[in-house]
Every structure is written in C-alpha cells, then in structure tokens.
Structure 1
C-alpha cells in the first residue's frame, strides 16, 4: 500500500508534468501575430526550426525538473553525484542547440550562429560539420 511519501511524490510528478505541458518558454513580441514572427524566419523551414527549438526547451525544462526531484534524496545524491552532473551538461547542450536553431531560423548564417555556441566542444563539432 502506498504511504503518504509515495502520494506526495506522485502529486509532485503530476504537477511537474502539468507545468511542463503549459510552460510558455518564449513570449511573442507584444502585438506581433505568430504568422508575422514565423515569416521573419529565413526560408520555408524557419518556422519548423523555431518550433523545434521551443520543443527542445520544453525537454530541457523537464530534465531540470527531474533533476530537481532527484536531488531531494540525499542518499541518492551522495551515491550518484558524478552522474547527476550529466543532467546539467545535457540541459546546456539542449539549450545551446535550441538557441542555434533559433538563430539560423531567424536568418543568421550557419557560421555566425555556430560561432555563438558557448560550449567549446559542441562548437568544435558543429564547425567540423560545416567544413
């Protein structure tokens, strides 16, 4: 039989999922209809890239929320501290990828967009892909 602790964790998980599904990660400029914002993207794939970037940010938010739940268990943290640091690195990669997609969708050249990636190893791999 599930105790109060289990019920609390289930409620927290449900709340986390609800928030992630309704989180607005990017606000449109005031008075700018979505079609105008999408039309500003360079090329027909621009709106798709922007939507994909938003989805990546939702995934990052879910990952960060999961990490937040896991670190509430002191024993778990002590046992898996090195592995938990991977959550932060994954979140950074997802965030940088989303930002890159937004920049390219907004018309920035791929070379310029990659040049703004803040994770050096990721930037190096992306530059290699462009060469």
Structure 2
C-alpha cells in the first residue's frame, strides 16, 4: 500500500519542520491530493494515524483537500475536467495528441498547525512547509 509510504514521508517532513520551529505538538496537517495522484484518502488517513504514533504529530488531524484533474488541448483553446477514469481526448476538437494535464497529480502539504507555547496557548500555522510530499 503506497499510502503508507506517502504518510511516512508527510510525517517525516512535518516532524522536521515542527522540530525546527520549536513545536510541542502538531495538531493539524492539510494535504492537497490530486484526483489523478492514485491516492485513496481513507487509506491515507488510516496510514497517517499509524505513522504519527510516537511522534510530535501523534493525535494530529489530517485534512485532505481534493484537486480535480484538468487537461488542456495543445491544438485548440479547450480545457476540461478529465474525471475518473481520465478522459484525455479533447472534447472540442477530438485530438488526443498534445493533451497536457494541468492539475490533478498534486500531492502537497498545504499547511501545518502546531502548538509551540509551553503554557498550551494558541498554536500557529505554517504554510506551506514544502512543495511536494
């Protein structure tokens, strides 16, 4: 299950940033997941919880923000939602060559919220901590 390797990579990157920022506890991680990234959100959430155990992220909430897959035709001005399974032929001119995916493959940490006040005061949010997970 590649969701576990993704979860471990996200936890590793967030843990590194949180430690550098003096975090006491990470409470929330927002992750952008493209429709075409091949990630099952429920499986990722399960794996994320397991990967967080024993780290500064233990108990953190994972919020996934879905990004629709979109494509653009190189031969005409058309841009469209590709859906699942992806429709990679231009709906306007019918051409399949030169189709460019413009969104939907993202896997990006959007923001992280952590507590850094030793008295349990409000945490802070850092956006983004990295380009790709």
Is the shorter-chain TM-score for this pair beyond 0.5, marking a shared fold? no
Q: Higher strand proportion, which one?
A: 2
Q: Higher helix proportion, which one?
A: 1
Instruction: Give the structure-1-normalised TM-score.
Output: 0.29
